[in-house]
């Protein structure tokens, strides 16, 4: 069915976008001049033990960046990423999610290709390009939600969202392992080139085969088109209810829960390769493997949680809102607990890896918690609300790396990292309890009665 193909293509586009984003978290291990830091000296020996000659090691550009400078490079993307989601949501509503997504893929690929040149030319130019790339990718999430809203029907919401948002675990599993192999055999520069070329290829497929909604798709069957359209309840070009959005407690509960989720996610995405390599002492290849495994486990969580959530709702074991709260508890509660446990079991590097893996894997429950909840509280405004969520969560993306850089600039030890993990866990628990108290699945623009009819129609359809 075409709606499943669209969800799968959204997943593929997400893999591209996220790989372009997080690749530098692994590449930066190789970008820094190792003789300037005793923590990185073991990597030089590891490269030579993997049949790399001293001449090749010398030819690969390396830079004299301290911990604070490295964290600034990682955080720079999120400065820009906090600026554009709200206008990106408006843009996606005007020109469509498809065009917005293609633009993101092409522009982000171009900027990523420039990173190796910028790093060698000027440190501040690299920061500027990273910020600019963040601005471009700020449109990604609103564009995705705007497109999916035209294709997803309520009783398949969790399942199809899980397919689309499988991009996160897949990109982690794919990107980290591929980056380690490319760095090992060619050099860190080629990681940026590889992902950029792949993303341009996927953008071409999107331009040819993906359509904004079922009515514009010439390849969809009439039966499926009519089935999807039977659930449409909001006309196009409906004015954006800005006041109602910004005064809704349900929206703010989503924003705070998403802020906590993003804070944890970014810390694990951008910093776990460095933590495993530098603090725990694993070599580059092992680091690539250990940072890829959580993505595979999270993929399993994402897919099973989507199926389970829809099953729970359809069988009426829990109400819609309580189902979303249950999966929010599983997302933020488990990950926060695991981050706290890393510091408790300080003596065991194996335990630290296990807790990092479980913390990242449990974040996969978010595809059945806050993500589908966007469409439930405001049909027709998903892209705008997603933009608001992403924009307001943006500071959490760069605050985390900058805090860690401040903690570790003079003394990069396990203790400093434990403090950062504990702070992150506290933020996760705040987000969880906020959503448990104020989260809603009631349509904010329409009456409860109209929402009930809309949702009941959808869930009854599968019984007929």
Q: Is residue 410 included in any domain, yes or no?
A: yes
Q: What is the pLDDT of residue 187?
A: 81
Q: What is the pLDDT of residue 444?
A: 59
Reply yes or no on whether the pLDDT at 52 is more than 70: no
Q: Is residue 152 included in any domain, yes or no?
A: yes
Mean pLDDT to the nearest integer, 42-56? 45
Name the burial class of residue 122, with classes exposed (0-12), middle (13-18) and buried (19+) by CB atoms within 10 angstroms of its CB. exposed
List the one residue out of 365, 341, 336 whose CA is nearest residue 354: 341
Reply yes or no on whether the pLDDT at 143 is more than 80: yes
pTM for the whole structure: 0.74
Mind listing the pLDDT tens digit for each residue in 393-418? Answer: 877 777 777 787 777 766 778 888 88
Percent share of the chain, pLDDT over 90: 25
Percent share of the chain, pLDDT over 70: 86
Q: Is residue 233 included in any domain, yes or no?
A: no
* Region label for 96, one of left (φ > 0), alpha (ψ between -120 and 50) or beta (otherwise): left
Write the CATH number for 214. 1.20.1250.20
Mean pLDDT, the chain, integer:
81
Q: Is residue 317 included in any domain, yes or no?
A: yes
Contact 432/332 with Cβ under 8 angstroms? yes
List the one residue out of 322, 329, 394 whose CA is nearest residue 366: 329
Residue 281, domain extent: 2-227+244-461
Reply yes or no on whether the pLDDT at 66 is more than 50: yes
- Please provide residue 440's backbone torsions phi and psi, each rounded to the nearest 5 degrees: -145, 155
Mean pLDDT to the nearest integer, 102-123? 93
Mind listing the pLDDT tens digit for each residue in 429-451? Answer: 999 999 999 988 776 554 344 44
Q: Is residue 236 included in any domain, yes or no?
A: no
Q: What is the pLDDT of residue 33?
A: 61
* Top-confidence range, 54-58, 164-168, 176-180, 391-395: 164-168
Q: What is the pLDDT of residue 446?
A: 46
Residue 233: enclosing H or E segment and its boundaries? none
Contact 252/377 with Cβ under 8 angstroms? no
Number of structural domains in the chain: 1
Higher pLDDT pick, 185 / 122: 122
Q: Is residue 291 included in any domain, yes or no?
A: yes
Q: How far apart are CA 257 and CA 324, in angstroms?
A: 12
Q: How far apart are CA 13 and CA 8, in angstroms?
A: 9
Contact 176/26 with Cβ under 8 angstroms? yes
């Amino acid at each position: 069915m075409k709606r499943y193909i669209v969800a799968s293509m959204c997943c593929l586009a997400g893999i591209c976008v996220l790989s372009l984003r997080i690749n530098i978290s692994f590449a930066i291990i190789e970008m820094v001049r190792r003789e300037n830091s005793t923590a990185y000296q073991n990597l030089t020996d590891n490269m030579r033990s993997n049949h790399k000659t001293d001449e090749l090691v010398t030819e690969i550009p390396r830079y004299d960046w301290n911990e604070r400078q490295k964290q600034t490079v990682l955080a720079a993307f999120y400065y820009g990423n906090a600026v554009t989601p709200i206008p990106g949501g408006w843009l996606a509503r005007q020109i469509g999610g498809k065009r917005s997504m293609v633009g993101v893929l092409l522009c982000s690929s171009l900027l990523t290709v420039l990173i190796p040149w910028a790093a060698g030319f000027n440190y501040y130019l690299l920061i500027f390009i990273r910020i600019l790339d963040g601005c471009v990718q700020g449109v990604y999430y609103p564009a995705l939600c705007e497109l999916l809203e035209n294709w997803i029907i309520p009783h398949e919401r969790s399942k199809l969202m899980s397919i689309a948002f499988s991009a996160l675990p897949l990109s982690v599993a794919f990107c980290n392992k591929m980056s380690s192999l490319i760095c090992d055999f060619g050099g860190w520069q080629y990681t940026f080139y590889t992902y950029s070329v792949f993303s341009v290829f996927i953008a071409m497929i999107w331009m040819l085969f993906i359509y904004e909604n079922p009515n514009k798709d010439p390849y969809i069957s009439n039966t499926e088109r009519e089935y999807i359209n039977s659930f449409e309840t909001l006309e196009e070009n409906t004015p954006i209810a800005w006041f109602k959005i910004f005064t809704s407690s349900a929206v703010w509960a989503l924003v705070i829960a998403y802020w906590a989720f993003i804070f944890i996610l970014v810390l694990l995405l951008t910093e776990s390769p460095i933590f495993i390599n530098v603090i725990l002492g694993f070599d580059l290849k092992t680091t690539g493997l250990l940072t890829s495994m959580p993505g595979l486990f999270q993929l399993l969580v994402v897919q099973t949680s989507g199926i389970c959530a829809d099953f729970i709702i359809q069988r009426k074991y829990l109400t819609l809102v309580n189902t979303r709260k249950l999966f929010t508890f599983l997302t933020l509660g488990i990950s926060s607990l695991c981050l706290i446990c890393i510091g408790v079991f300080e003596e065991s590097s194996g335990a630290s890896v296990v807790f990092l893996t479980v913390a990242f894997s449990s974040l996969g429950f978010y595809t059945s918690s806050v993500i589908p909840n966007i469409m439930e509280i405001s049909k027709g405004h998903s892209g705008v609300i997603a933009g608001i969520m992403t924009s307001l969560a943006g500071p959490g993306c760069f605050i985390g790396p900058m805090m860690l850089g401040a903690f570790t600039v003079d003394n990069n030890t396990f203790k400093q990292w434990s403090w950062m993990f504990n702070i992150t866990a506290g933020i996760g628990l705040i987000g969880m309890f906020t959503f448990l108290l104020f989260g809603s699945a009631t349509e904010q623009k329409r009456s409860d009665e109209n929402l009930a009819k809309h949702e009941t129609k959808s869930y009854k359809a599968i019984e007929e």
